[in-house]
Amino acid sequence: MSLLTIGSVAFDALETPFGKTDKIIGGAATYITLSASYFTEGNNLVAVVGDDFPQSMIDDLNQHGVNTEGLEIRQGEKTFFWSGKYHNDMNTRDTVEVQLNVMENFDPVIPESYQNCQYLMLGNTAPAIQRMVIERLHTRPKLIVLDTMNLWIEIARPDLMGLLPLVDVLVVNDEEARQLTGQYALVTAAAKIREMGPKTVIIKKGEHGALLFHEGQIFFAPALPLAEVFDPTGAGDTFAGGFIGHLAKTDDVSFENMKRAIIYGSAMASFCVEKFGAERIMNLTKDEIQARVSEFVKLSAFGLE
């Protein structure tokens, strides 16, 4: 089934305890579509960049089967830029600089060929823009997944609250879930978020895995303990791409299949952090992914005598 992804396509500059990068390609939608490309074929991107964005990266996306018909290239304008610095624990980071550039007045245009997509991934961008995409689709997709971040909870809470009833799944990290609900316990926070609209809530806990809440049921996916973590940037988006990519591939939105989907998402995220930027998820094989998913199965499998 076809997937439509919207979100930032960006230049990032990153600093982790292991090193620094100059401007490299990043952005929520970049990570999501690359990650989903290992699962689903109809992989359609809606985003905006400036004329400084390299054609070679668009070619790379196309080679991964990402349809870039909906990627607007604005002449004479610059691509969104974000720079972040990680703390020593690698789970927390500070935003050092944001230049909105083309994102400042992003007005998403949905190509006719993207209409009737069954799966919609609303990657990180302003909630008002995410909402426009839902409103500009002729028919409601079978599943709408929303990602957001602390910034929008702080500066666009009313827009976000208006969007939540329109989506099926919210993906946030633990701090964002607490910030959104004012609840410390994640079980209570998830219940509160479900009252705000989404039937399903996923709470990511970085290197401590992810929780899936759905109609009174909970599933926990661990994160793979890795010897080397270089750069967590994009791990959340890569997780979301694997999650929705698996659902779109199998066209099954049951709780049982969502459990598998969050394991696929976690496996993809575990690759993402091994190198700076999107480098690792641009160069994966399906065998590597399957082998990693098997490691997840082994990680917490045990038998009662």
Which residues make up the interface to ligand AMP (CB under 6 A)?
8, 10, 12, 26-28, 82, 124-125, 151, 233-237
DSSP 3-state assignment of 143? strand
Residue 256 CB, nearest approach to ligand AMP (Å): 26
Residue 56 CB, nearest approach to ligand AMP (Å): 18
Number of residues written out for the chain: 305
Residue 126 CB, nearest approach to ligand AMP (Å): 7
Residue 91 CB, nearest approach to ligand AMP (Å): 11
- The full DSSP string for 71-104 is EEEETT---EEEEEEE-TTSS-EEEEEEE-GGGG
Closest to ligand AMP by CB, 28 vs 193, is 28
Closest to ligand AMP by CB, 2 vs 103, is 103
Closest to ligand AMP by CB, 168 vs 175, is 175
Please tell me the distance from the alpha carbon of residue 147 to that of residue 259, in angstroms, as a whole number. Answer: 18
- For ligand AMP, which residue has the nearest CB? 26
Residue 302 CB, nearest approach to ligand AMP (Å): 31
Closest to ligand AMP by CB, 201 vs 235, is 235
Closest to ligand AMP by CB, 151 vs 185, is 151
Residue 215 CB, nearest approach to ligand AMP (Å): 27
Strand positions, DSSP E, the chain: 3-6, 10-16, 19-20, 24-26, 43-50, 66-74, 80-86, 93-99, 119-122, 143-147, 169-173, 200-204, 210-214, 217-221
Closest to ligand AMP by CB, 42 vs 209, is 209
CA quadruple 272, 273, 277, 280: dihedral, nearest 10? -40
Please tell me the distance from the alpha carbon of residue 117 to that of residue 97, in angstroms, as a whole number. Answer: 35
**Measured CA distances, 109 to 39, 132, 183 (Å):** 25, 9, 37
Question: Residue holding tokens 């401007």?
Answer: 23
